[in-house]
Amino acid sequence: MKRLLPILLLAVGCQTNCPDTIVTGTNPIISGQFTADPTARVFEGKIYMYPSHDIPSVITHHDGSAWFSMPDYHVFSSEDLTAWTDHGVILRQEDVPWGKPDAYAMWAPDCVFKDGKYYFYFPDAPASGWGFGIGVAVAEKPCGPFTPQQEPMKGVIGIDPCVLVDDDGASYIYWSGMGLSGCRLTDDMLALDGEPVRLDEPLPAGFKEGPFAFKRNGKYYLTYPWVRKDTETLAYAMSDSPLGPFEYKGLIMKESPVGCWTNHHSLVEYKGEWYLFYHHNDYSPHFDKNRSARIDRVTFNEDGTINEVIPTLRGVGPVKASARVEPDRYSSIDGAVVEYVDTADFFKGWKTVFTDAGDKVTFCDLDFGNRAPRKVVFCVKAPQGGRLSLTAGAMAEFDIPASSEWAEVVCPMPFKARKMHDLELELVAGTCVEVDWITFR
């Protein structure tokens, strides 16, 4: 074991902002703005995410409390689930001909592809009348421009549309409003083709909103937020037919232990693996109507049932050692704690606080590539200094000089790390060492 002195200490700010591409690989996947109700679809070989867009509340609920405020929709795409391109706003409340332009009611959307066109389904409050309608906007490309229809869909009063395009081209829409309803769509995707069917009646009581339907190996899945006690779980039911009857099968994700009343999700297969997109109020700990999209892996059993997904901070994206590695998005933690970097700006993210010797975190699957880095950089604050051990295949210890401001401490790498390793950081001496991020050069 070798003790190494830092060769450079720079007092710097430790956060960056990139306007169009957000690179995390961890949860939540998008920073700098809120991204709720994420619907993920694969178009043109990429993942597209159509979330709704929470902003700090500008409207109140009928009881006077701050309420969901959702003025528009963005679309994001990614090839690797780590780097997300924000393609910008695809639809604004002011642009919906039948909508109330200041309702802030652009709730959970969906987008599907059929016969050369992209159909974006979205809830909005009608300019006249009450409740929610569901509109359709059509585009030639997955990121628009989307042209909304003049009128909402007839026969649909409700929120959270989801559309399943079946293998034979027949399409079905599912939505929430006085229960969970489903109906076949007309071939042009713009209207109901027949009478809606209530789908929630055979399911355990407690269906709320946000249905997401998909087909896998000939079975139809109806997945949905379900309140069995006090907040939303994600549950699912299966059927041999797109309009049921659906049989309840179990939970996909339990209630969040803290913070967020809602959960809202989608499941998607991408490059041979299945993923659950869902949300949590990570960047808004005091207001659960400002949510952020997350992703975790989903696995299925032989009989098609879904294994419970345990939410992680590590997420699913590949993370390169040459990127900013955030140990606060840990895979496991022992003694160390995670806190916000700046409670006046939660988008600055988190730091890992190592208080006592032995406190540690592990960050799984860090990709060092083929060229072993020569340096490691710690973005740290350590009023009394300390010593961290770093394990990535081999192990070394690094002195962290005393600094009461954030500083980049650059040290030579004493061993060659190549390919994939789980990274472990442990405080071996000193007290109260805070780590914002580390990187390898």
Residues that bind ligand FUB (CB under 6 A): 36-37, 52, 68, 107-108, 159-160, 209-210, 262, 264
Region class of 374: left (phi > 0), else alpha (psi between -120 and 50), else beta: alpha
Count Cβ atoms within 10 A of the Cβ of residue 368 and give its class: 0-12 exposed, 13-18 middle, 19 or more buried.
Answer: buried
Token pair belonging to 69? 């405020």
Q: Find out whether 409 and 7 touch, Cβ atoms under 8 Å.
A: no
Strand partners, 33: none
Q: Is 303 a catalytic residue?
A: no
Whichever of 234 and 336 has its CB closer to ligand FUB, that residue is: 234
Q: Is 37 a catalytic residue?
A: yes
Whichever of 266 and 352 has its CB closer to ligand FUB, that residue is: 266
∠ CA 12-17-22, nearest 5°, is 135
The minimum distance between CB 214 and ligand FUB, in angstroms, equals 17
The minimum distance between CB 321 and ligand FUB, in angstroms, equals 36
Among residues 86, 209, 359, 408, the one annotated as catalytic is 209
The minimum distance between CB 339 and ligand FUB, in angstroms, equals 27
Whichever of 36 and 380 has its CB closer to ligand FUB, that residue is: 36
Among residues 37, 86, 200, 408, the one annotated as catalytic is 37
The minimum distance between CB 52 and ligand FUB, in angstroms, equals 5
CA 160 to chain centre: 17
Strand partners, 320: 367
Q: Find out whether 137 and 118 touch, Cβ atoms under 8 Å.
A: no
The minimum distance between CB 260 and ligand FUB, in angstroms, equals 9
Count Cβ atoms within 10 A of the Cβ of residue 228 and give its class: 0-12 exposed, 13-18 middle, 19 or more buried.
Answer: middle
Phi, psi of 282 (to 5 degrees): -55, -45
Whichever of 55 and 192 has its CB closer to ligand FUB, that residue is: 55
The minimum distance between CB 261 and ligand FUB, in angstroms, equals 9
Whichever of 90 and 323 has its CB closer to ligand FUB, that residue is: 90
Token pair belonging to 240? 């041999």
Whichever of 70 and 380 has its CB closer to ligand FUB, that residue is: 70
CA 112 to chain centre: 19
Token pair belonging to 288? 């659960």
Maximum alpha-carbon separation in the chain: 74
Residues 6+ apart with CB under 8 A from 204: 226, 228, 235, 248
Catalytic residue numbers read 37, 209
